[in-house]
């Protein structure tokens, strides 16, 4: 029985590691991008371009109508009368139709109103490209989800890496044009366009749905579910985009750039997550009826790993920003900025009860509360605390979203073994971030606080720590044995 359990655990970890291949390659690409931006691109240029990218994602999420989530939810349990390929086709077609309507409204009927709302310099000249870029991002999103749900690790990895390259690194070539802002924007759209064309040709047979795909029995399942989730995805990205647009309007393009760079850099904490998020959604929906104990136990492991890694980054942030001289000011808000990313990651292990129960309205309420908190706090804090105020607003809004969705989700499907441990761990995490800001230039004091925090995490999750060490040691031993046998 013990051997069976160990084999199951190894198989589980092996699946996560396979999906992590693209994550680690993408992290290298992402890290290279941040390094180049941090050493080459002035903040007043990076700010508007980065905000434009966020707005493109927001438009994409509005147009996608939550149908990417419908595809994930119904992939293993497709409605009667439709195949998995048919499900892909109908979701993709509806989303493209919605984006077409949105583009006509934004570019032809209400362009002045939209430009007034965006209040971003580069959008005034390139509004049509905003919608074109949203289309390419949507194509990439659907193909990424399809390969993930099909467990096609090779194509998922290829698609993810190329998407990351064209959306995060390729656009920097535009900086060397006569007009760096325009050059970077055109390079983004061109790169993502070529990428989308190639993968559309690869999956061309699945794009157009059959007549049966539009039957009432199919649409009454996938459309209401997707539409109920659509506001959630929109509000999540609107949250980040609002902060940048607000800073650009109330402070300067430079402040917008520093905040945007700190937000991008804060995603460094996700690297330790690896392929977990990619693998986890598909795993939960396929196994929630029989594997609740395992699903609940994963939350503790995620807490231990993510919070320890976050604390290590706070401790060593001085070394990180030595490599990024053009964005040295971001160091002071960086620990606070990372809190929002931490809450988002930890939510991967706590909120699936809402989706399992098919009650997406609670996701929408939680994220709407988050956006409301961000807006109110930005208006209140930014005039007095500037960049720190915006960082605190984003962190607080992330916590509100995490807390609300987690508490509600537990009523439908328990994924948190010990709420007390989770609360203590998050309290220590927030205290660490505060000390990271207060002692941003005092390495030794900050290091002492961070080491103490790591000690608390290890005591809280002692059993998980021992298990991780044991599995790691066994994995290394197995690798050494295989090497010796091969020789």
Tell me how many degrees the CA angle 65-71-74 measures, rounded to the nearest 5: 125
Res 288 pLDDT > 70: yes
Q: Could you tell me which residue, 172 or 240, shows the higher pLDDT?
A: 172
- The whole-number average pLDDT for the span 233-239 is 72
The answer to whether the beta carbons of residues 256 and 293 sit under 8 Å apart is: no
| Chain position carrying tokens 């999420």 | 61
Q: How far apart are CA 133 and CA 188, in angstroms?
A: 8
Q: Are 213 and 89 in contact (CB under 8 A)?
A: yes
Residues 88-144: tens digit of each pLDDT: 878 888 888 888 888 888 777 766 666 655 655 555 567 788 888 889 988 888 888
Distance in angstroms (rounded) separating the CA atoms of residues 455 and 335 = 19
State both tokens at 220: 């009454």
Checking if the pLDDT of 64 tops 80, the result is yes
First vs last C-alpha separation in the chain: 32
User: Largest alpha-carbon pair distance within the chain?
Assistant: 70
- Spatial contact of 342 and 351, defined as CB atoms under 8 Å apart: no
Q: Say what the pLDDT of residue 47 is.
A: 81
pLDDT value of position 311: 94
pLDDT-based confidence at 30, cuts 50/70/90?
Answer: confident
pLDDT in tens, 172-181: 888 888 888 8
Task: Note the pLDDT of residue 4.
Answer: 43
Distance CA 446, CA 332 (A): 13
The three-class DSSP label of residue 439 is coil
Whether the pLDDT of residue 294 is over 70: the answer is yes
Does residue 51 have a pLDDT over 90?
A: no
**Of 241, 234, 277, 239, which is closest to residue 364 (Cα–Cα)?**
234
Of 375, 374, 87, 390, whose CA–CA distance to 261 is shortest?
Answer: 390
Residue 272 has pLDDT above 90, yes or no: no
Tokens 């419908």: give the residue.
70
42: phi > 0 → left, psi -120 to 50 → alpha, else beta; which? beta
CA-only gyration radius of the chain, Å: 22
**What is the C-alpha separation between 22 and 86, in angstroms, rounded?**
27
Contact (CB, 8 A) for 412 and 353? yes
Q: Is the dihedral of CA 232, 351, 242, 170 positive or negative?
A: negative
With a cut of 80, say whether residue 281 has pLDDT above it: no
Tell me what percent of the residues of the chain surpass a pLDDT of 90.
15
User: What percent of the chain is predicted at pLDDT more than 70?
Assistant: 82
Report how far residue 389's alpha carbon sits from residue 384's, in angstroms, rounded to the nearest whole number.
Answer: 7
pLDDT over 70 at 460, yes or no? yes
pLDDT digit string (tens) for 100-111?
A: 888 888 777 766
Q: pLDDT band at residue 5, thresholds of 50, 70 and 90?
A: very low
**486 band by pLDDT with thresholds 50, 70 and 90:** low
Residue 63 confidence (pLDDT) above 80: yes
Q: What CA–CA distances, in Å, run from 145 to 87, 275, 302, 423? A: 12, 13, 22, 32
Chain position carrying tokens 């203590």: 424
Is residue 72 within 8 Å of 149, Cβ to Cβ?
yes
pLDDT of residue 426: 94
Highest mean pLDDT among 138-147, 225-234, 251-260, 367-376: 367-376
Strand locations in 326-469, DSSP E?
Answer: none
User: In the prediction, which pLDDT does 146 show?
Assistant: 82
Query: Which range has the top average pLDDT, 156-170, 199-213, 346-360, 453-467?
Result: 453-467
Q: How far apart are CA 469 and CA 441, in angstroms?
A: 34
Number of residues that make up the chain: 487
The pTM assigned to this predicted structure is: 0.73
Among residues 315, 344, 333, 311, which one has the least CA distance to residue 458? Answer: 311
* CB distance 415 to 352 below 8 Å: yes
Q: What is the pLDDT of residue 432?
A: 94
| Mean pLDDT along residues 465-478 | 74
Q: What is the C-alpha to C-alpha distance for residues 346 and 301, in angstroms, rounded to an integer? A: 10
pLDDT of residue 6: 46
């Amino acid at each position: 029985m013990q051997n069976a359990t160990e084999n199951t655990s190894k198989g589980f970890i092996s699946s996560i590691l396979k999906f992590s291949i693209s994550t680690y390659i993408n992290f290298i690409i992402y890290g290279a991008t941040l390094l180049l931006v941090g050493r080459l691109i002035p903040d007043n240029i990076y700010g508007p371009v980065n905000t434009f990218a966020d707005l493109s994602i927001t438009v994409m999420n509005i147009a996608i109508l939550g149908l990417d989530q419908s595809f994930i939810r119904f992939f293993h349990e497709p409605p009667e009368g439709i195949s998995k390929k048919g499900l892909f086709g109908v979701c993709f077609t509806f989303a493209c139709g919605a984006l077409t309507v949105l583009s006509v409204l934004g570019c032809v009927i209400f362009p002045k109103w939209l430009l007034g709302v965006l209040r971003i310099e580069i959008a005034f000249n390139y509004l049509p490209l905003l919608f074109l870029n949203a289309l390419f991002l949507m194509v990439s999103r659907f193909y990424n989800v399809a390969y993930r749900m099909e467990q096609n690790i090779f194509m998922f990895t290829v698609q993810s890496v190329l998407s990351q390259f064209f959306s995060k690194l390729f656009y920097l070539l535009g900086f060397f044009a006569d007009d760096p802002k325009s050059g970077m924007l055109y390079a983004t759209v061109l790169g993502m366009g070529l990428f989308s064309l190639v993968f559309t040709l690869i999956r061309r047979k699945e794009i157009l749905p059959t007549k049966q795909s539009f039957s009432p029995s199919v649409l009454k399942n996938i459309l209401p579910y997707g539409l109920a989730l659509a506001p959630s995805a929109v509000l999540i990205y609107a949250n980040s985009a609002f902060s940048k647009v607000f800073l650009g309007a109330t402070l300067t393009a430079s402040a917008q750039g520093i905040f945007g760079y700190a937000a991008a850099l804060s995603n460094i904490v996700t690297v330790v997550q690896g392929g977990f998020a990619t693998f986890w959604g598909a795993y939960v929906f396929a196994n929630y009826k029989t594997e609740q104990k395992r699903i609940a136990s994963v939350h503790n492991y995620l807490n231990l790993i993510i919070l320890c890694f976050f604390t290590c980054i706070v401790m060593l942030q001085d070394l990180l920003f030595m490599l990024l001289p053009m964005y040295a000011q971001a160091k002071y808000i960086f620990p606070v900025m990372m809190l929002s990313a931490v809450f988002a990651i930890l939510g991967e292990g706590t909120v699936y009860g809402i989706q399992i129960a098919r009650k997406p309205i609670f996701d929408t309420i939680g994220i709407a509360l988050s956006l409301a908190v961000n807006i109110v706090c930005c208006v209140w804090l930014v005039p007095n605390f500037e960049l720190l105020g915006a960082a605190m607003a984003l962190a607080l809004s992330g916590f509100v979203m995490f807390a609300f969705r987690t508490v509600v989700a537990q009523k439908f499907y328990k994924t948190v073994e010990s709420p007390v441990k989770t609360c203590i761990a998050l309290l220590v995490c927030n205290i660490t971030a505060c000390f990271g800001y207060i002692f941003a230039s005092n390495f030794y004091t900050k290091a002492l606080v961070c080491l103490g925090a790591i000690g608390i995490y290890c005591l809280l999750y002692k059993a998980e720590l021992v298990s991780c060490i044991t599995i790691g040691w066994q994995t290394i031993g197995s690798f050494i044995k295989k090497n010796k046998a091969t020789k």
